[in-house]
Structure 1
Amino acid sequence: MAHINYNHLYYFWHACRAGSIAGAAETLSLTPQTITGQIKVLEARLQGKLFRRQGRGLVPTELGQLVFRYADRMFMLGQEMLDIVNYRKESHLLLDIGVADGLSKQLVSKVLETAVIAEEKIHLRCFESTHEMLLEQLSQHKLDMIISDCSIDATQQEGLFSVKLGECPVSFWSTQPQPGVPFPACLETRPLLIPGRRSMLGRKILNWISSQGLQVDILGEFDDAALMKAFGVQHHAIFVASALGQQDGWQRDAIAEVGRLDTVFEEYHVIFVGRMIQHPAVQRICRADFSGLFPRQGTDEKKPA
């Protein structure tokens, strides 16, 4: 068999990842006819069909699955090589970090301080989104590392590593606490703001409310912790936030702690791809002792070798 044209293989790889010819064409800025023609040439070279129709999309055949597994490793390795070469070309060491939008930015900032040292020029680029969106960008090599409130399933996410930095208690806060009404019954007296249920913390809070048998009035769900706090202050609602490092910064807004949970904790994890194991900033974060930041120090879930 003659050598495979890697452009043909590249087009097939994108079509397989997108699940359609149109999706691959949009990603590659080519016409669908060009993608289809190149895949047909590859099928002729491999002497077999690579796709079959399923509804409006395409799924790989048995041969297609085999070819995709090898192509995926090849092109991902090539992307890693380019990333490493680009890092070395920069005058500053680049680190693209995704931050789950529900996390305390004050605590995330303290984690990021570990990555920066005076002896090393480093350029941080931070992006904020949901855990799911960040994980997708990480798998596409658009990010180097994620700081999130949940880890990964190593058996389902090959090539990714997860390290738990720690966890912190969670409290309810308000500008107008209800005197004389004990916690948690006081949560039934005021509108309540909670993290979005798409987040790990949001689901934990909802489960806790249900377990307590509380009849609460949930005014809103927020993915952004800072926005939830601002909205809570404006509407005198009770809202959820980390119990660490808030008291001093919130005194000017007359924000007081309504009650602290003893069974719900906000977790902090870093997730990164295999190529970043050697990145000095990632190594510093993974090896740092955060026991002073997180009273309940977490344990490593999946450490790189």
Structure 2
Amino acid sequence: MKTTGLNFRHLHYFWVVAKEGSVTRAAERLGVAVQTISMQLALLEQAIGKALLAPQGRRLVLTEAGRLALVYADQIFLLGEQMQEALAAANDDRTLRLSVGISDSLPKLIASRLLDAALRLPERVKLVCYEDKFESLLGDLTVHKLDVVLTDRPAPSGTTLRVFSHLLGESDIALFATPELAQRYRDDFPTSLNGAPLLLPTRNNLIRGRIDHWFEARGLRPNVVGEFDDNALLNTFGRSGLGLFPAPSALAADVEEQFGAEHIGKLDQVHEQFYAVSNERKIKHPAVEAILSAIHGRVFTHLKPAAKPQTKPQIESKTKRK
């Protein structure tokens, strides 16, 4: 069936109704009459030739076509918001916008350390962070939604993606725990890890395979009491005392300060690497270049603090979970 041209105002009304779950609440949010939204939705469905919403009790729910339309509407209006922000920043020569994708497997303390150099530029930096799966972030990078992706792995080779991986550094991995657990399992390490409660990343995380191999090679059988897809959640449960948890050795002081955890022992020969993935082989964004200049060629160690920026950076954090 041939359709007429898509009216983006109608699509925006649909998008808000889908988010609010109600025409009434959408009307309140948009500041228009309920009848106006109902009429615009009817015109959109007529133009598309499919029903997008269906009544269910007092709410409206998405049809199969509506769910598909919402996926595209999310992308359209996200890009619209980013365009407005970018144009607003362009009017202020002192503001530098940096859109960063942070892989959910990357330790957040590492991400913070990597971004520190960018935030110390003399220009005002508006930092917008998105957390998501590595593969999804790569897709956003290729369509220029992101300036750079920070992750624990290089981009896969042998694909059509025109992206380039820049190794920033690496760190040994150690085990940490609350003081009570650390006192119990620190002596006679690593033999003491037999039967010890352990929190680990899920098996789709690169570092998980290396940790499993380390235990197998030494004939050790810890009790894995929790597996986590998100690194921040793993650390949170570690802080609660549920079990021992791995973290980069270079962040020992940060882990102790933020999570009240103590170092138990190092998993020798287990290393985690950290990458910046960009669209260009040679990074041209000033903030990303600052990251590479500060980190390139160095293992993650505590560096002498640079001079603090004169202006306070603006930071936004957005989790792109579906």
TM-score, normalised to structure 2, is 0.59
Q: Is the 8 A contact 2:142 2:162 kept in 1?
A: no
**Is this contact kept in 2: 1:149–1:267, CA < 8 A?**
yes
Q: Which residue, out of 83, 92, 96, partners 2:99?
A: 96
Q: 1:152 to 1:259 in 2, by over 3 A?
A: same
Q: Quick one: distance in 2 between partners of 1:252 and 1:283?
A: 29
Paired residues, what number? Answer: 225
Given the superposition, is the C-alpha separation of residues 190 and 162 from structure 1 closer, same or farther in structure 2, using an over 3 Å criterion?
same
Q: Cα gap change, 1:90/1:218 in structure 2, threshold over 3 Å: closer, same or farther?
A: farther
Check the 8 A contact 2:172/2:266 in 1, yes or no: yes
Cα pair 1:194 1:218 within 8 Å, conserved:
yes
Match of residue 109 from structure 1: 112
2: distance between equivalents of 1:164 and 1:260? 23
C-alpha displacement of 1:260? 0.3
Provide the secondary structure at the position in 1 that maps to 2:274.
strand
Cα distance in 1, alignment partners of residues 186 and 127 from structure 2: 48
The 3 A distance-change label for structure 1 pair 216 and 120 is same
Q: Does residue 207 in structure 1 map to residue 210 in structure 2?
A: no
Deviation at 1:195, TM superposition (A): 1.5
Conserved? CA contact 1:154–1:160, under 8 Å: no
1:187 corresponds to: 193
Q: Give 2:15's aligned residue.
A: none
C-alpha distance in 2, partners of 1:94/1:136?
20
How far residue 99 of structure 1 moved from its aligned partner, in angstroms, is: 0.9
Cα separation, 2, equivalents of 1:267 and 1:214: 25
Query: Aligned-pair distance for 1:186?
Result: 1.9
Distance 2:286 2:234 in 1: 35
> Structure 1 153/228 Cα, relative in aligned 2: closer, same or farther at 3 Å?
closer
Q: How does 1:1-305 map to 2 (within 5 A)?
A: 86=87, 89-91=90-92, 92-175=95-178, 176-177=181-182, 178=184, 181-247=187-253, 250=256, 255-274=261-280, 277-290=283-296, 294=300
Write the distance in 2 (CA, Å) between the matches of 1:252 and 1:118: 26
Structure 1 stretch displaced more, 286-295 or 156-165: 286-295
Q: Deviations over 1:246-269 (max 9, x none)?
A: 236526865222210121111110
> 1:153, 1:248 → 2: CA distance?
31
Deviations 1:158-185 (A, max 9, x none): 4211100000111111221335752222
Closer, same or farther in 2 for the Cα pair 1:275/1:141, shift >3 Å? farther
Q: 3-state SS of the aligned residue for 2:278?
A: strand
Question: 1:225–1:241: 8 Å Cα contact kept in structure 2?
Answer: no
Distance 1:130 1:113 in 2: 23
C-alpha distance in 1 between matches for 2:138 and 2:298:
28
- Following the alignment from structure 1 to structure 2, what is the Cα–Cα distance between the partners of residues 104 and 161? 21
- 8 Å Cα contact 2:177/2:241 also seen in 1: no
- 2:232 corresponds to which letter in structure 1? A
Query: What are the ranges of 5 or more consecutive residues in structure 1 without an aligned counterpart?
Result: 1-6, 8-29, 36-81, 296-305
Q: Is this contact kept in 1: 2:239–2:260, CA < 8 A?
A: no
**Secondary structure of 1:171 counterpart:** strand
The secondary structure found in structure 2 opposite 1:203 is helix
CA contact (8 A) 2:200 2:208 kept: yes
Report what 1:24 is aligned to: none
Whole-angstrom distance in 1 between the partners of 2:91 and 2:202: 38
Matching residue of 1:25: none
Aligned partners of 1:88 and 1:229: how far apart in 2?
Answer: 35
Pairwise CA distance, 1:239: 0.9
CA distance in 2, matches of 1:283, 1:181: 44
The one-letter code of the counterpart of 1:288 is A
> Residue 166 and residue 192 in structure 1: after superposition, are their counterparts in 2 closer, same or farther (change >3 A)?
same
Q: Distance in 2 between matches of 1:127 and 1:185?
A: 40
Separation (CA, whole Å) in 1 of partners of 2:258 and 2:289: 38
Local SS of the residue matching 2:98? strand
In structure 2, how many angstroms separate the alpha carbons of the residues matched to 1:275 and 1:110? Answer: 23
Post-superposition shift, 1:120?
1.8
Describe the shift of the 1:132–1:90 C-alpha distance in structure 2 as closer, same or farther (beyond 3 A): farther
